[in-house]
Amino acid sequence: MNNPYNAPSADLSNPNDASATYMPKMLELRGRIGRVRYLAYTFGLSLLLGLAVVVVMGMLAMISLELMMLGFILYVPLLGATLVVAARRLHDLGHSGWLSLLTLVPVLNFFFGLWLIFGAGNAGPNQYGLPPAKNTTALVWLACILPIVFIVGILAAVAIPAYQAYVTKAKAAQALSVPGQ
């Protein structure tokens, strides 16, 4: 029977549809993430876990320096999270997650990180799964604002002491020039 009012029947189990995507979760071990998510996840995790490490190591340093050295063990979760996020970004690029170990190699990790940030991922599905869903506005803001905050913080760390030295020298020069008038 050919009833025009029947629901259409289609095979929806084929994940090879070019428009199919999935919504990635933060610390999932499998799947793919794009450039913006990589930036947002990396900066966000570094900020949160790095702050926790600094606070705990500061408390341990007040007790003893030996305990502070044990605080370096707290960097292991930060390293693990970084490797997981890098592996998922590599999956989006169509490469094995084992390449994320290149983040541990000095100097090479800088260029490897640039490739992870600027390399274009596969447009459609690859052997690691479907492409990630479109980025949310909050994620884009997070990926844009966190690097700016870091850059402003570094500039402030350099500029504030230089300005204080300038003010000290200016006051000293002014004190020397006032009595001579």
6-18 residue pLDDT tens: 776 765 555 555 5
Does 44 reside within a domain?
A: yes
pLDDT tens digit sequence for 97-130: 888 899 889 999 899 988 988 888 888 888 887 8
Whether 150 maps to a domain, the answer reads yes
Domain count, the chain: 1
pLDDT in tens, 38-59: 888 888 888 888 788 888 888 8
Higher-scoring residue by pLDDT: 55, 72: 55
Residue 142 counted as domain residue: yes
Helix (H) or strand (E) holding 179: none
Q: What is the mean pLDDT of the chain?
A: 81
* Residue 39, SS3 per DSSP: helix
Mapping DSSP onto H, E and C, the string for 66-108 reads HHHHHHHHHHHHHHHHHHHHHHHHHHHHCCCHHHHHHHHCCCH
For residue 123, give the DSSP letter: S
Assess if residue 108 is contained within a domain. Answer: yes
Residue 52 in any domain: the answer is yes
Task: Give a yes or no: residue 179 inside a domain.
Answer: no
- Asked if the structure places residue 83 within a domain, the reply is yes
Which residue range(s) make up the domain with 141?
A: 35-169
In this structure, is residue 67 part of a structural domain?
A: yes
pTM of the predicted structure, to 2 decimals: 0.67
